[in-house]
Amino acid sequence: MLGLLRSVWDEPGPADPPARVWRDWVMLAGFTLVIVGEVLSRPELPYRWFAGAVALAVLPTVLWRRTRPLLAVAVAFGACGLAPLVTGHDLGLNSFVFVLVLAYALFRWGSGRAAVIGATIIAVKLLFSLVMGFLGTGDTVGGFGILFAATALGAALRYRNRARQRELDQVKLLERERLARDLHDTVAHHVSAMIIRAQAGLATAPMNPDAATDALRVIEAEASRALAEMRGIVRVLRTDEPLDLAPTPGITDLHGLAGRHRIGPSVDVDIAGDLDDLPAPIGTALYRLAQESVTNARRHARNATRIEVNVVADAASVRLRVSDDGEAAPVRAATSGGFGLVGMTERAGLVGGTCEAGPGPIRGWTVTAVLPRA
């Protein structure tokens, strides 16, 4: 209980409460007319001019109820509690209903500390009026009920807005993670390929000048693909086109990873099982996982001559295994300095699958992913 009370006391107020807007001035003008009208229309009310003057004096507190809610409550309820000492009885103006707006604002915009202190001020005012005989028991109980309803409404809207803000923050975080994965799996893949080709071309150019020309051709092709995929991502971001409708690679594009390269290890792709009815998100995830695994192997597998990509499908799941025959390197993932394995694990998890990577049983590095067909 003590921890709960301390958390309420230490709770900060909402950030950047809205400043005064035209509605506040309309509210001020409206309540002013109501107060003046009630004073003029109730000649039987004792000390009606004094009560009206007190109401008009504290009415401007509605203008800073959001930025200074505790001060507004303290001024308004303090004045309403002390003014009856002059007249000897309750002021009796129904127009004082505007203090409900202040009570609402206290719990909507105030900090936890301000809410506790303000609620205490309100309770003290009501109990003081009851003890001094300015209010009867029924009026006091009714006042507590009405003020509780106003404060409860303010607290409910406050926490509803906070929950909505948390949801928006979570959506933004997920969107940032998705963009990071897409950029890494598309543009970063092609840039990595260009770096590998450029390094290989520079290393072999003195002995084989044609290798530099071949490297430039590959770099040009990879740059064109990177530009095309970047434009696709930008199109999705700038238009209302859903990401699912944007051109994305699938299971049939896995064969494009295969090939016998003059520089670096060869890539062999083997697909077994029925993949005709595989959903597009699963196919895209498989391709991206295989693509990233092949890129990592070509960059980090020392003295590797072959990379194998195996896909096996059954009735319930699809299994991907990418392995190389490079030298054993148990710290390869830790030294890469990138986010490839993190993105691969996230991508597999988004479709209900798993992805693991580690040293192979004999040599090299092995990536294994299991994705559901549904």
Return the CA Rg of the chain: 35
Residue intervals in the chain for CATH 3.30.565.10: 258-374
Residue 281's φ and ψ, nearest 5 degrees, are: -60, -35
Report helix, strand or coil for 355. Answer: strand
Residue 277's pLDDT band (cuts 50, 70, 90): confident
Treating both helix axes as pointing N-terminal to C-terminal, what angle do 340-350 and 137-183 enclose, rounded to 10 degrees?
120
How many residues can be counted in the chain? 374
CA–centroid distance for 118 within its chain: 32
Instruction: Print the SS3 string covering 5-17.
Output: HHHHHCCCCCCCC
Mean pLDDT for 158-167 is 87
CATH 3.30.450.20 fits 258-374, yes or no: no
DSSP structure class, residue 148: H
Helical (H) or strand (E) element with 365:
strand 365-372
Tens of pLDDT along 182-224?
A: 776 667 667 777 777 777 777 777 777 777 777 777 788 778 8
Q: Are 339 and 180 in contact (CB under 8 A)?
A: yes
Q: How confident is the model at residue 335 (pLDDT cuts 50, 70, 90)?
A: very low
pLDDT digits (tens, 9 = 90+) for 345-369: 888 888 889 999 888 887 788 999 9
Closest CA relative to residue 373, chosen from 311, 310, 328: 311
DSSP, collapsed to helix, strand or coil, labels residue 72 as helix
Query: How many C-beta neighbours within 10 Å does residue 156 have?
Result: 12
Query: How many CA within 13 A on the CB side of residue 302?
Result: 7
> Which residue is it, tokens 């300095």?
337
Determine what percent of the chain is predicted with pLDDT higher than 90: 29
| pLDDT tier at 31, thresholds 50, 70, 90 | very high
Question: Reduced to 3 states, what is the DSSP secondary structure of residue 358?
Answer: strand
Q: For the segment 231-263, what is each residue's pLDDT rounded down to a tens digit? A: 777 776 676 555 544 456 788 888 887 765 555
Rounded CA-CA distance 301/328 in Å is 8
Residue 371, beta-bridge partner list = 318
Hey, how many other C-beta atoms are within 10 angstroms of the C-beta on 125? 22
Q: Supply the pLDDT for residue 185.
A: 66
How many whole angstroms separate alpha carbon 365 and alpha carbon 324?
6
Model-wide pTM > 0.85:
no
Residues 6+ apart with CB under 8 A from 33: none
E-only strand ranges, 239-297: 266-272
Contact 337, 330 (CB under 8 A): no
